[in-house]
Chains A and B, each alone.
Chain A
Amino acid sequence: MVRIIASLVGAAFVFVLGLALFGTVSEWVSNPPVESAEHEFHHHPLDAGLSSAGFFGKFDRRQVQRGFQVYQEVCSACHSLKYVSFRDLTQLGYNDAEVKAIAKGWKIEQPTINPDTGEASTRPNVPSDRFPSPFANDIAARAANNNALPPDLSLMAKARHDGANYIYSLVGHGYVAQPAELIRKFPASKTPTGLHYNQYFANLNIAMPPPLTQDGQVTYADGTRASVDQMAKDVSAFLTWTAEPRLEARHAAGFGAVVFLIIFCFLAWGAYQNVWRDLKH
């Protein structure tokens, strides 16, 4: 009885799937899918070659500090970093006094309430503060940016596929002239005014104007030549750190855990052989 009902249920599912399959095939034949501009002209990210990549990856502190400088002087005009605190900068090799100075000198102040009048006010940042947002709220951010919302950057390196390389490619090498071939093949996909063609952006047209426009835009404190490529790499390194500040602790703990477990496996294997030595199995 169970088998009869089962075969009927099975036949029903197979029949309906067969109908669906027929529909898929006839749709495919009568209405073949068209290529899209995104599909054809989107590029996979270039390799930023960061030292944090790979099994034994560690942050290059000087590079991350340079990336922080790029964030501070360029990105922070529009992008917040709301999950990162000034105190976290000590992990990059800044000492307490330097962090205090960075917090205090930060251009955007921390929103607060005037203790005397109760009115909205601001005060200088202290190390325990999170990085303040450049805009009071999302509406203000959109109003200032042609109705586009600059995303928070704290997690950007994890919030995109191949995030570190994506950031590097997008800001360092993504802004090129829209290929003539694209406009010829997909006239409807011409970049609208107010947007910018970027070959690493998912739909090819990004609202963000090119942030890194010329070599030497930032004067690095450590004297490194600030080419666009270098700045893009450095800011990618910085955002890798903001997204995964515990990366080095994780790699170190992982190394210990793997060594421990390999030894454990050998010991367990030996014990197993010993227990079973007299028994065929």
Chain B
Amino acid sequence: MSFPWAKHYQPKQPLMRWLDEKLPLPRLVYNAVGAGYPVPRNLNYFWNFGVLAGAALGIQIITGIVLAMHYAANAGVAFGSIESIMRDVNAGWFLRYAHANGASMFLLVVYIHIGRGLYYGSYKAPREMVWLLGVVIFLLMMATAFMGYVLPWGQMSFWGAQVITGFFSAIPLVGDTIRVWLLGGFAPDNAALNRFFSLHYLLPFVIAGVIVLHIWALHIPGSNNPTGVEVKGEQDTVPFHPYYTAKDAVGLGVFMLVFALLLFFSPNLLGHPDNYIEANPLSTPAHIVPEWYFLPFYAILKSFTANFILDAKLWGVLAMFGSILLLFFLPWLDSSPVRSANFRPLYRKFLGVLLLDVLVLGYVGGAEPSPGVILLGQIASIYYFAHFLIILPIVARSERPRPLPNSITEAVLEKHAGLGPTKSAMAN
């Protein structure tokens, strides 16, 4: 696959030759993430985040499997079993804090990964399928993270589950029936906790499977790059290994460092204190908030406060799911043939506003409701939908992109020439 100049796997060792004849697994790895995958030579550090997301999933699966050996998915004892992990299991505090903060790190790198895709137009032809599978992974991650947060059976677990499963009751006529069926009861209880645990264990492996498809689909056109210009020839690419394995190692080191600082020195920074209170169906917390990574979507949900034909709650739920589902249509909403925002001055400005907008939505999602905050959330929600569904298609048609470089290599050489004649001459 990919480019004709891709290196071919040539095992020298007899054992590897033998293995290659019987089961060419090393060949598969070589072609997927080894020297057999040619990658544009000009990728910046934003291209580290795919590998980082993979590493984060690996950490979650490993810590999660060990935690499951000690955790008891029963509403009567779940909270206590977490406490015994924290106190009595060998390095249990490490496993649990690594898993809880690992989820935050996973979502963080995935948000940057998605942002990278938006900025450099990685969702555009010929990589639509890569993008679509990416959105599927994101949805699966959100489901997994939500169910994982329920498992400790603290106050926020319980009331978060109550609120989120309550979305289904917004469906007209059959909503309540569906909700009761999904929960296995009228409120989150043992039945719900058990099925959430089962699905929370299953979905990461589904995610891993979709990641295989995501990478497979990526390898057909090859990686995008900061110029957005397609690879023209061999001089534009370098083999993934050792060039990008070396670069990814740097990114991985920094990622682990941030992770370690969070895990060892401020492990409860991103959690909510109420989740250290055992679930109590009779006592509603003063302020129910989801984890930080859901806050922008929660803000959109809460912004719909007016009934219009449909109930306000149903509008909110539709908009919240719609805010993610619209990403599926992005490759067709943005008809501009230019990928990289570096060459799209107008789109770039709107994308900057969108980033700010999502941060504002995140603030609103976590803030105590007051008229000012609700108003801010409504304005930010309007921009969110207008950006993707109205502004983006118009910008794609009307803007005049800056001239593109002829090739990746030309762009690279120009950049170096721009650094000053002396340095460039020395490098030559």
Using a CB–CB cutoff of 8 Å, the interface residues on chain A facing chain B are: 2-3, 6-7, 9-11, 13-25, 27-28, 32-33, 55, 83-84, 88, 151, 154-155, 158-161, 163, 202, 243, 245-246, 249-251, 253-255, 257-258, 261-262, 264-265, 268-269, 271-272, 274-276, 279-281
| Residue of A7, A24, A27 with most partner-chain B CB within 10 A | A24
Q: Which residue of chain A lies nearest to B424 when distances are taken between CB atoms in the complex?
A: A280
- In the bound complex, do residue B333 and residue A13 qualify as a contact, i.e. CB atoms below 8 Å apart? no
- In the bound complex, do residue B305 and residue A24 qualify as a contact, i.e. CB atoms below 8 Å apart? yes
Contact string against A for B residues 225-260, beta-carbon threshold 8 Å, 1 for contact and 0 otherwise: 000000000000010001100110110111011001
Within 8 A of A (CB), among B384-426: 385-386, 388-390, 393, 412-413, 416
| A154/B83 contact (C-beta < 8 A), A10-B385, A159-B274, A280-B427 known | yes
CB distance from A187 to the nearest CB of B (A): 23
- In the bound complex, do residue B393 and residue A3 qualify as a contact, i.e. CB atoms below 8 Å apart? yes
Cα distance, A144 to B343, chains bound together (Å)? 73
11 chain-A/chain-B pairs, Cβ below 8 angstroms: A6-B333, A15-B308, A21-B382, A23-B306, A83-B80, A83-B87, A159-B274, A254-B261, A265-B250, A268-B250, A275-B242
- The 7 A-B pairs of least Cβ separation, nearest first, read A254-B264, A10-B389, A265-B253, A159-B276, A20-B306, A268-B249, A28-B371
- In the bound complex, do residue B308 and residue A16 qualify as a contact, i.e. CB atoms below 8 Å apart? yes
Cα distance, A264 to B257, chains bound together (Å)? 10
| A280/B416 contact (C-beta < 8 A), A83-B80, A159-B274 known | yes
| A261/B260 contact (C-beta < 8 A), A202-B286, A279-B41 known | yes
CB distance from A147 to the nearest CB of B (A): 13
A residues near B273, Cβ cutoff 8 Å: 158-161, 163
B277 at the A/B interface (Cβ < 8 Å)? Answer: yes
Interface residues on chain B, size class = 35 or more
Contact of B378 among A15, A24, A163, A276 (CB under 8 A): A24
Contact of A276 among B243, B374, B416 (CB under 8 A): B243
Cα distance, A265 to B308, chains bound together (Å)? 55
Contact of B389 among A7, A28, A154, A159 (CB under 8 A): A7
CB distance from A1 to the nearest CB of B (A): 9
B284 at the A/B interface (Cβ < 8 Å)? Answer: no
- In the bound complex, do residue B305 and residue A88 qualify as a contact, i.e. CB atoms below 8 Å apart? no
| A261/B253 contact (C-beta < 8 A), A28-B375, A253-B264 known | yes
Q: Which residue of chain A lies nearest to B274 when distances are taken between CB atoms in the complex?
A: A159
Known A7-B389, A11-B389, A264-B253; 20 more pairs at CB < 8 Å = A2-B329, A3-B332, A9-B389, A10-B385, A13-B322, A13-B385, A20-B306, A24-B374, A24-B378, A28-B375, A84-B87, A151-B277, A155-B277, A159-B277, A245-B87, A246-B87, A269-B250, A272-B249, A280-B412, A281-B412
Within 8 A of A (CB), among B269-322: 273-274, 276-277, 286, 303-306, 308, 312, 315, 319, 322
From DSSP, what is the main secondary structure of chain A's interface residues? helix
Cα distance, A57 to B326, chains bound together (Å)? 47
CB distance from B327 to the nearest CB of A (A): 12
Cα distance, A272 to B372, chains bound together (Å)? 49
- In the bound complex, do residue A254 and residue B315 qualify as a contact, i.e. CB atoms below 8 Å apart? no
B379 at the A/B interface (Cβ < 8 Å)? Answer: yes
B residues near A83, Cβ cutoff 8 Å: 80, 83-84, 87
Cα distance, A32 to B253, chains bound together (Å)? 52
CB distance from B63 to the nearest CB of A (A): 15
Contact of A20 among B260, B312, B326, B427 (CB under 8 A): B312
Cα distance, A22 to B385, chains bound together (Å)? 18
CB distance from A7 to the nearest CB of B (A): 5
Within 8 A of A (CB), among B209-233: none
- In the bound complex, do residue B306 and residue A19 qualify as a contact, i.e. CB atoms below 8 Å apart? yes
Q: Which residue of chain A lies nearest to B417 when distances are taken between CB atoms in the complex?
A: A280
Contact of A279 among B93, B238, B267 (CB under 8 A): B238
CB distance from A228 to the nearest CB of B (A): 25
Q: Which residue of chain A lies nearest to B238 when distances are taken between CB atoms in the complex?
A: A279
B residues near A23, Cβ cutoff 8 Å: 305-306
B42 at the A/B interface (Cβ < 8 Å)? Answer: yes
Contact of B265 among A15, A55, A271, A281 (CB under 8 A): A55
- In the bound complex, do residue A271 and residue B249 qualify as a contact, i.e. CB atoms below 8 Å apart? yes
- In the bound complex, do residue B303 and residue A33 qualify as a contact, i.e. CB atoms below 8 Å apart? no
B177 at the A/B interface (Cβ < 8 Å)? Answer: no
- In the bound complex, do residue A6 and residue B393 qualify as a contact, i.e. CB atoms below 8 Å apart? yes
B residues near A281, Cβ cutoff 8 Å: 41-43, 412
Q: Which residue of chain B lies nearest to A27 when distances are taken between CB atoms in the complex?
A: B371
- In the bound complex, do residue A276 and residue B246 qualify as a contact, i.e. CB atoms below 8 Å apart? yes
- In the bound complex, do residue A272 and residue B246 qualify as a contact, i.e. CB atoms below 8 Å apart? yes
A residues near B144, Cβ cutoff 8 Å: none
Contact string against A for B residues 317-341, beta-carbon threshold 8 Å, 1 for contact and 0 otherwise: 0010010001001001101000000
B13 at the A/B interface (Cβ < 8 Å)? Answer: no
| A10/B250 contact (C-beta < 8 A), A19-B308, A257-B264 known | no
A residues near B253, Cβ cutoff 8 Å: 261, 264-265, 268-269
CB distance from A21 to the nearest CB of B (A): 4
B51 at the A/B interface (Cβ < 8 Å)? Answer: no
| A250/B264 contact (C-beta < 8 A), A83-B87, A281-B41 known | yes
B residues near A257, Cβ cutoff 8 Å: 260, 264
A residues near B260, Cβ cutoff 8 Å: 254, 257-258, 261
- In the bound complex, do residue A250 and residue B94 qualify as a contact, i.e. CB atoms below 8 Å apart? yes
CB distance from B84 to the nearest CB of A (A): 8
A residues near B35, Cβ cutoff 8 Å: none
- In the bound complex, do residue A21 and residue B243 qualify as a contact, i.e. CB atoms below 8 Å apart? no
B370 at the A/B interface (Cβ < 8 Å)? Answer: yes
Cα distance, A250 to B246, chains bound together (Å)? 30
Cα distance, A281 to B236, chains bound together (Å)? 10
CB distance from A158 to the nearest CB of B (A): 4
CB distance from B313 to the nearest CB of A (A): 12
CB distance from A128 to the nearest CB of B (A): 11
Cα distance, A21 to B371, chains bound together (Å)? 10
| Residue of A17, A202, A281 with most partner-chain B CB within 10 A | A17
